[in-house]
């Protein structure tokens, strides 16, 4: 019993120095506490709390990069829809990203694409996670 | 679409029997008061209908929910044990036009009416009953909340 | 401090318990037991709201929320769906161009049969809801399909429900095909969707005693017995699949196709959960 | 006869008659806008009067704050099963009609 308590406590009180079980857990905890643009160490290495999409969106703002990001985001959205786990705001983000691209606002377009891509990646992740976890919600 | 069509149809068929209305005996009851219904404050609406401010009375009872399920359809019932009630009116203080409805109660009809009203937001709802000896009222606050699930 | 500790212990126990359960039952075709699921859901609600009789759950949220119930009873004095039932009856009895009518497509000429839907159709290999049976009937007689969410289809469905009031829901799961559809619906019900990461069950089972702003969510037991519903919010009558779409986009998920396989299976599961309760549709809701 | 917009449930109970009436009507307030942003003109039932044997038993004056599909319930002394009620409604547009219902 004590063991379980301390495990849960560790999970709940995770901080930069306390090791979580996996990188994802550590990342999520850090992101949750500090938001983006924060650095932390995990098993001796240094990482930032930025999502991969945010890292991509930080690339130089130009037409080629903005176009590429938008295409990536659209492809990711298609994947989310394929597993039936699209999110409602994604479509609007994509169309705003498209408009910003046309208007030459590359930085804005890239940030919108990044958000759309993140939503879609999470939708797909949600699909996979749900396959494993849905039964936990069934009353017995 | 269908709503409008059946309404139009009713209007059309209604035209044929509208003449009958003229033949029906009319009693002297308060007509639809433009000044009262279009008034934008409760004072103005009451002023258009009554000569004096209604006084609160325990003999007027109003049934209205504490929290409205949906502001678009709020059931309200008004009842009075006062003698000789000739009119019942319902006011929603915070509506754009506070007077919601006014009922003429001829002799032989009970002072007990129910209807459903719209409320834009949380407001004091007041029922006013008219008798030979003046106006009497009851009021209560009805909360209008934002629903949890839009759907 | 002590309080926090015991809270943590509780949380860890719950976590462990649900994982153990997940490992064992109800998520495969071999282990899923619809009747056990139904009884488990009933007992869940009976434990949570011991004062509410099971039969009362057909009234949805009004079984639990006294303040709302009073207003609803006022509305039911002269419910707004009466016009729709009337129009549904006219539509139902209007012959198609070929001279046939809806009555020719259904058992007992379509009267008093709501409780048998949705049903597993072996020849089509899928769940057929009442609304999809209505459209199949139209197509078989050379008529165009009706839109799924509101208008005529909801009115016809409302009339058919009205003629079936007080009949007891009796959804059958005759074979493995039906069982697979049931399981799929069950999984959908408990699967988190959308940006808010919520499942049907989050609100309508586990969250059934938690306010969402000022509202309690309707309990999952008896959830579908009163459809189609006239929602004051809509200002008109709508089908169950219209409501599903609304729920799914409320949690910021792209909603699934009305009368598609997924939602039909979900309806199949949910209606099975209400087996033994009576048809009381159409209903009036806030 | 084509059905009008009113539905009535009138029941004789002892010496009294309980009347419940609902009208199928949108009760447009004039404050709403359509999808293209144009104001939807006000169109609502302004008066509804009910007569039994030629005697008015209720006269309702309504504003735009009465709900869609307006509902009205009241009780009057008298009335017997089989009697007819005459119900006359008038819209703010001037349209009007008289419909009837039987007491049950």
> What's C243's domain CATH number?
1.10.760.10
Going by DSSP bridges, is the β-strand pair B99-104/A45-48 parallel, antiparallel, or unpaired?
Answer: unpaired
CB contact under 8 A, C12 and A85: no
DSSP C125: T
The structural domains of chain D, with segments of one domain joined by +, span 6-30+40-102
B104 falls in which pLDDT band (50, 70, 90)?
very high
Query: What is the rounded CA–CA span in Å between residue C65 and residue C55?
Result: 15
Q: Is residue C167 part of a domain?
A: no
Whether the predicted pLDDT of B138 surpasses 50: yes
Asked whether the beta carbons of A110 and A65 are under 8 A apart, the reply is yes
Same domain assignment for residues C61 and C86:
no
Q: Dihedrals φ, ψ of C141, to 5°?
A: -105, 25
B150 falls in which pLDDT band (50, 70, 90)?
low
Same domain assignment for residues C18 and C135:
no
Is B134 in the C-facing interface, judged by CB distances under 8 Å? no
Least confident residue range of B12-21, C165-174, D91-100? B12-21
Is B74 in the D-facing interface, judged by CB distances under 8 Å? yes
C79 falls in which pLDDT band (50, 70, 90)?
very high
CB contact under 8 A, B67 and C214: yes
Placement of tokens 């609100």 in the chain: C203
Active site residue C105: no
Q: Is residue C105 part of a domain?
A: yes
Q: Is residue C246 part of a domain?
A: yes
D65-96 pLDDT per residue, tens = 999 999 999 999 998 899 999 999 999 998 99
CB contact under 8 A, C21 and A9: no
pLDDT score for C177: 96
Same domain assignment for residues C180 and C150:
no
Examine the fold and report which residue of C136, C162, C188 is the final residue of a domain before the chain moves on.
C162
A88: chain C residues, CB-CB within 8 Å: 194-195, 249, 252-254
The helix/strand/coil state of C170 is coil
Among the partner-chain residues A8, A86, A133, the one whose CB lies closest to the CB of C12 is A8
pLDDT score for C65: 87
Number of domains in chain C: 2
pLDDT score for C8: 32
Same domain assignment for residues C74 and C90:
no
Going by DSSP bridges, is the β-strand pair A39-42/B112-117 parallel, antiparallel, or unpaired?
Answer: unpaired
Chain D segment 49-78 residues within 8 A of B by beta carbon are: 51, 54-68, 70-78
Whether the predicted pLDDT of A33 surpasses 50: yes
Among the partner-chain residues A88, A91, A130, the one whose CB lies closest to the CB of C192 is A130
Q: Is residue C169 part of a domain?
A: no
pLDDT score for B29: 60
**Domain containing residue C185:** 2-78+175-285
* Residue C129 CB burial class (10 angstroms; 0-12, 13-18, ≥19): buried
Same domain assignment for residues C53 and C105:
no
ipTM of the prediction greater than 0.90, yes or no: no
Enter the pTM of the model.
Answer: 0.83
Q: Is residue C180 part of a domain?
A: yes
pLDDT score for B148: 67
Whether the predicted pLDDT of D47 surpasses 90: yes
Whether the predicted pLDDT of C76 surpasses 80: yes
C107-125 pLDDT per residue, tens = 999 999 999 999 999 999 9
User: B66 to chain D, minimum CA–CA distance in Å?
Assistant: 18
The two structure tokens encoding residue A55: 């890292």
From the candidates C105, C137, C200, C247, give the one annotated as an active-site residue: C247
Strand stretches in A5-140, DSSP E: 39-42, 45-48
Same domain assignment for residues C86 and C208:
no
D58: chain B residues, CB-CB within 8 Å: 103-106, 109, 113
C18: chain A residues, CB-CB within 8 Å: 136-137
User: C277 to chain B, minimum CA–CA distance in Å?
Assistant: 25
Query: What's the mean pLDDT in A37-61?
Result: 90
B67-97 pLDDT per residue, tens = 998 899 999 999 999 999 999 999 999 999 9
Whether the predicted pLDDT of C219 surpasses 90: yes
Q: Is residue C126 part of a domain?
A: yes
Query: What is the rounded CA–CA span in Å between residue C56 and residue C33?
Result: 25
Whether the predicted pLDDT of C191 surpasses 90: yes
CB contact under 8 A, C71 and B65: yes
**Most A CBs within 10 Å, among C8, C17, C260, to test the A interface:** C8
C226-268 pLDDT per residue, tens = 999 999 888 899 999 999 999 999 999 999 999 999 999 999 9
For CA atoms C87, C90, C96, C97, give the dihedral sign: negative
Class of domain D6-30+40-102: mainly beta
Asked whether the beta carbons of C167 and C115 are under 8 A apart, the reply is yes
Same domain assignment for residues C183 and C277:
yes
Query: What's the mean pLDDT in A92-117?
Result: 95
pLDDT score for C268: 97
For chain A, the maximum distance between any two Cα atoms, rounded to a whole number of angstroms, is: 60
Q: Is residue C168 part of a domain?
A: no
CB contact under 8 A, D96 and B6: no
Which helix (H) or strand (E) covers residue B100, if one does? strand B99-104
pLDDT score for A3: 39
**Most B CBs within 10 Å, among D61, D66, D83, to test the B interface:** D61
Query: What is the rounded CA–CA span in Å between residue C104 and residue C89?
Result: 15
Strand stretches in B4-73, DSSP E: 55-56, 60-63, 67-68
CB contact under 8 A, B3 and D46: no
B118-137 pLDDT per residue, tens = 998 999 999 999 998 899 99
Among the partner-chain residues B65, B145, B151, the one whose CB lies closest to the CB of C247 is B151
C137-152 pLDDT per residue, tens = 999 999 999 999 999 9
Decide: B and D in contact? Rule: 3+ Cβ pairs under 8 Å: yes
Same domain assignment for residues C64 and C182:
yes
pLDDT score for B11: 38
CB contact under 8 A, C83 and D73: no
User: D49 to chain B, minimum CA–CA distance in Å?
Assistant: 9
Least confident residue range of A100-114, B25-39, C7-21, C158-172? C7-21
C24 falls in which pLDDT band (50, 70, 90)?
low
C87: chain B residues, CB-CB within 8 Å: 2
CB contact under 8 A, D72 and B110: no
Query: What is the rounded CA–CA span in Å between residue B100 and residue B78?
Result: 13
């Amino acid at each position: 019993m004590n063991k379980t308590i301390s495990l849960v406590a560790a999970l709940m009180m995770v901080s930069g120095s306390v090791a979580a079980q996996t990188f994802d857990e550590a990342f999520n905890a850090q992101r949750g506490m500090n938001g983006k643009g924060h650095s932390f160490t995990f098993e001796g290495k240094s990482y930032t709390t930025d999502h991969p999409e945010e890292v991509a969106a930080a690339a130089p703002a130009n037409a080629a990069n903005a176009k590429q990001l938008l295409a990536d985001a659209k492809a990711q959205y298609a994947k989310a829809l394929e597993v039936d786990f699209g999110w409602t705001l994604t479509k609007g983000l994509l169309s705003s990203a498209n408009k910003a691209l046309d208007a030459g606002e590359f930085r804005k377009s890239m940030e919108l694409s990044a958000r759309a891509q993140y939503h879609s990646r999470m939708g797909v992740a949600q699909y996979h996670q749900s396959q494993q976890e849905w039964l936990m919600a069934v009353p017995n | 679409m269908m709503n409008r069509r059946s309404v139009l149809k009713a209007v059309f068929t209604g035209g044929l029997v509208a003449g009958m209305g003229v033949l029906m005996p009319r009693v002297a009851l308060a007509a639809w008061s433009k000044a009262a219904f279009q008034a934008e404050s409760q004072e103005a609406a009451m002023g258009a209908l009554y000569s004096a401010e209604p006084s609160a009375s325990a003999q007027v009872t109003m049934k209205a929910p504490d929290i409205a399920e949906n502001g678009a359809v709020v059931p309200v019932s008004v009842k009075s044990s006062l003698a000789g009630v000739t009119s019942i009116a319902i006011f929603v203080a915070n509506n754009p036009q506070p007077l919601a409805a006014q009922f003429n109660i001829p002799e032989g009809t009970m002072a007990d009416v129910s209807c459903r009203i719209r409320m834009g937001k949380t407001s004091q709802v007041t029922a006013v009953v008219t008798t030979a000896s003046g106006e009497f009222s009851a009021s209560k606050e009805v909360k209008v909340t934002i629903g949890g699930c839009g759907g | 401090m002590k309080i926090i500790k015991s809270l943590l212990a509780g949380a860890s126990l719950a976590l462990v318990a649900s994982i153990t359960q997940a490992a064992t039952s109800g998520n495969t075709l071999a282990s899923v037991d619809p009747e056990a699921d139904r009884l488990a859901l009933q007992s869940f609600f009976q434990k949570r709201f011991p004062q509410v009789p099971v039969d009362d759950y057909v009234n949805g949220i009004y079984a639990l929320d006294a303040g709302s119930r009073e207003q609803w009873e006022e509305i039911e004095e002269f419910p707004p769906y009466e016009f729709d039932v009337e129009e549904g009856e006219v539509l139902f009895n209007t012959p198609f161009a070929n001279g046939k009518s809806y009555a020719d497509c259904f058992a007992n000429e379509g009267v008093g049969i709501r409780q048998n839907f949705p049903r597993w159709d072996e020849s089509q290999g899928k769940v057929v809801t009442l609304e999809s049976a209505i459209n199949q009937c139209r197509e078989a007689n050379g008529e165009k399909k009706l839109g799924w969410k509101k208008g005529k289809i909801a009115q016809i469905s409302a009339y058919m429900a009205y003629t079936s009031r007080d009949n007891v829901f009796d959804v059958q799961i005759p074979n493995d095909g039906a069982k697979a559809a049931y399981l799929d619906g069950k999984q959908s019900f408990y699967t988190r969707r959308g940006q808010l990461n919520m499942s049907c069950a989050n609100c309508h089972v586990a969250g059934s005693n938690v306010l969402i702003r000022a509202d309690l969510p309707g309990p999952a037991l008896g959830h579908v017995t009163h459809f189609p519903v006239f929602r004051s919010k809509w200002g008109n009558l709508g089908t169950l699949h219209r409501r599903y779409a609304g729920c799914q986009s409320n949690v910021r998920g792209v909603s699934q196709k009305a009368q598609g396989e997924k939602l039909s299976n979900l309806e199949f599961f949910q209606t099975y959960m209400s087996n033994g309760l009576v048809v009381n549709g159409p209903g009036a809701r806030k | 006869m084509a059905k009008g917009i009113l539905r009535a449930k009138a029941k004789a109970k002892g010496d009294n008659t309980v009347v419940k009436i609902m009208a199928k009507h949108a009760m447009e307030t004039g404050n709403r806008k359509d999808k293209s942003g144009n104001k939807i003109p006000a169109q609502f039932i302004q008066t509804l009067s009910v007569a039994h044997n030629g005697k008015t038993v209720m006269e309702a004056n309504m504003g735009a704050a009465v709900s869609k599909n307006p509902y009205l319930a009241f009780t009057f002394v008298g009335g017997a099963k089989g009697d007819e009620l005459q119900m006359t409604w008038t819209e703010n547009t001037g349209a009007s009609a008289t419909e009837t219902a039987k007491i049950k």
